[in-house]
Structure 1
Amino acid sequence: MKNENTAAVLGALVADSAALGLHWLYDPARIAEIEAAKGLVFLKPEADHYAEGKGYLAHAGKLPGRSSAYGEVCLLMLKHLAKHRAFNRIEYQAEYRSHFGPGGEFVGYIDSPTRLTLRNLLFLEPSEFPAASGADDDQHPALAALPALIAAHAGTLENLLERMEEVVRVTNNNDVAVAAARCASVALFKVLHGVPIAQALTDALPYAGNPLQPLLEQALAMPKLDSVAAAERFGPACHVAQGLPVVFNIALHAADYRTAVESNIRAGGDSCGRAIMLGAMVAAHSAKRNGSGFPVPLPWLARYQKLATAAEACAAL
């Protein structure tokens, strides 16, 4: 992989891991208190983080540097592409079922799209897997596999979008989810091909359609970086029509990768869900802009516990 393509994948994985300790805490004021006392990134998920605020402690017992289910999907796709050299739907569905299903490697919170996808796959032979095995659900798991897919793609944008929809419907068989993934894919594809991030985000808007495009236009029209205000305006929760506008606001205005990741966490809510595409876009943009410099802080890379696995898969590609 080129430097910027590797940056996109590792940027997504590290941003997700950095947000895990405060994921699904819907209280920016409480997050600010925790930041002042303990810091913001790579915190251990603890009950006292949520005791005085609104939220759900989904990752109790996980250590700093681990991933949410979003990060696990991103890494699973990366390993799939390193192994097969191209997306193979049936093989990927089998790997997904094995990883997240009973007895699989993943131990942690199973969200609704993942649970329903597993229900659709568990009792079938691979030859019987439906192409659209996903839930009718428009939440952020729809975007989780995209950074690896896009970074490994060597063809045209049109070919990428065809493959992207096939990937998304494995877990999210929903038109709004597909539209959000299409828009986000265009933005990241263009950044990886040298388009400045502001232009890439604007170029992606027509691919979003309704109801998403007007929300993204509003997010880009916000005059400065204000992730808390963006989350209050569009919603901090797990639906793509809430999260992607926040991603666009941060990606447009953040000065660098660190600023983007920290701003995303401060916004609260589904910070891990937003982190996947945000981390990929900003890391890829920074890598393109800085040439040989790598945008993800080295101490953050070192704290991501599956760095060796991800690096080996990137090298294989």
Structure 2
Amino acid sequence: MFDKRKAKELVLGSLIADSYCLGSHWIYDEKELKNLPTNWEELNNACSLWHKGKKAGEFTHYGDQLYFLYQYIIENDNFDLEQYIHFWKEKMEKYDGYIDGATKTTLENLNANKAIPCGSSSTDISVIGRIAPLLLISKTKNQFFQNVEKFVRATHNSSIVVEGAKFFAKVLVDVLDNIEMMEAIKERKDEFSTTIQKYVNEGLYSIEDETFDAIRKFGPACGIDEAFGGVIHLLGKYTNFKEALIKNAQAGGDNSARAMIVAMFFIARYGLKVIPKNLTKIKVQIDIS
């Protein structure tokens, strides 16, 4: 059984990371990024058209979907895939935020009565940043890994995203077991495909590079082939969570997807003390008790 308080801390950390990125999320133009009307020390209103009207402390659609999973688990104390996906469907059909491609396709498949899991074939990495609530109802490491796969396939039924999620899930468990993070990353990669090994190695090789340059080189978009290396870069380069958040956000693109994964690892290693108090003023709170 995983420590429930720690699991809730991971959820809260990922939500805060998403909220912090709201201001610059999905801004790709380099000139625009450098001239955004944002205060990088604070939570900011959304600048992107995709999140028009969202205010500081709110979430992107990623953070909202993370919170929906957390709500489901708190209310049901289990993770039954069919029950969860109908809960998720009801939430998303009423949702007034951005509906991304993975969500749209999954809803279409559900409405066509396709067998569950009937997730999209999206290779978007963002779903990996939402796995922390599954620690709350997983009694063993293997059950956690199984729940992660079920959860990912529910909306992102892509083999490379499932494999990437398993990689990060295994490293996360190692860090929770007090194994040094970079040691765990380097050792775990050899259990996975040459594609995952390539992503990890490229991220590790980039650690000495400036973050803006490294992320723009990998590609700042949401696809796992671009974002995975950026996540490894951030985990390897920084020991200061605030600095990692700022540098990642300033690189733009799908910075929230990267930040939510990074946040899980920093909180797993160092706890909530790494989060500046002024960034905790988000629209919902997690009862850590």
TM-score w.r.t. the length of structure 2 is 0.91
Deviations along 1:72-123, whole A, 9 cap, x unmatched?
121111122212222110111011101111xx2x211100001011111235
Give runs of aligned pairs for residues 21-60 of structure 1, distance below 5 A.
21-34=23-36, 38-40=38-40, 41-46=42-47, 57-60=49-52
Is 2:142 aligned against 1:174? no
Residues 1:294 and 2:281 are matched in the alignment: no
How many residue pairs get aligned? The number is 286
CA–CA separation in structure 1 for the residues paired with 2:138 and 2:177: 11
Deviates more, 1:115-124 or 1:68-77: 115-124
Q: 2:80 aligns with which of 75, 78, 88?
A: 88
Per the TM alignment, residue 194 of structure 1 is displaced from its structure 2 partner at its CA by: 1.1
Contact 1:257-1:286 within 8 A present in 2 as well: no
Q: Percent identity?
A: 22
Residues 1:145 and 2:130 aligned together: yes
For 2:192 and 2:27, how far apart are their aligned partners in 1?
A: 28
Change (3 A) 1:184 1:90: same
Q: Which residue is equivalent to 2:15?
A: 13
The answer to whether the 8 Å contact 2:227/2:258 transfers is yes
* Contact residue 5 and residue 192 of structure 1 kept, 8 A: no
What is aligned with 1:211?
Answer: 195
Q: Aligned pair 1:202/2:202, yes or no?
A: no
Aligned equivalents of 1:212, 1:5: Cα separation in 2: 26
**Cα distance, 1:196–1:4 mapped onto 2, change above 3 Å:** farther
- 2:44 maps to a residue whose letter is L
**Runs of 5+ consecutive residues of structure 2 not aligned to the other structure:** none
**Residue 69 of structure 1 pairs with residue 61 of structure 2:** yes
Report the CA distance between 1:148 and its aligned residue: 1.7
Describe the superposition over 1:192-251 as per-residue Cα deviations: whole angstroms up to 9, x where unpaired: 121111112223323442423212112112243632122122111010121121111111
Q: What's the counterpart of residue 115 of structure 1?
A: 104
**CA pair 86-8 structure 1, distance change in 2 beyond 3 A:** same
**Contact 2:23–2:38 at 8 Å: present in 1 too?**
no
Q: Which residue of 2 aligns with 1:226?
A: 210
Q: Describe the shift of the 1:175–1:121 C-alpha distance in structure 2 as closer, same or farther (beyond 3 A).
A: same
Q: Which residue of 1 aligns with 2:247?
A: 263
Q: Which runs of 5+ in 1 are unaligned?
A: 47-55, 288-292
Are residues 38 and 113 of structure 1, via their aligned partners in 2, closer, same or farther at CA, if it must alter by over 3 Å? closer
Contact 2:164 2:196 in 1 (8 A): yes
Equivalent-residue separation in structure 2 for 1:112 and 1:38 (angstroms)? 28
Give the Cα separation in 1 of the matches to 2:76 and 2:186. 33
Question: Does 1:97 pair with 2:89?
Answer: yes
CA deviation profile, 1:33-54 (whole Å, cap 9, x unmatched):
33xx6312422123xxxxxxxx
Deviations 1:171-206 (A, max 9, x none): 011101111111111121211121111112223323
Q: Which moved more, 1:182-191 or 1:89-98?
A: 182-191
Does the 8 A contact of 2:207 with 2:236 survive in 1?
Answer: no
Matched residues in 1 for 2:260 and 2:278: separation? 19
Q: CA deviation at 1:259?
A: 1.4
Paired amino acid for 1:75: Y
Contact 2:26 2:253 in 1 (8 A): yes
Question: How far did 1:144 drift?
Answer: 3.8
Counterpart code for 1:298: K
RMSD of aligned residue pairs (Cα, Å)? 2.0
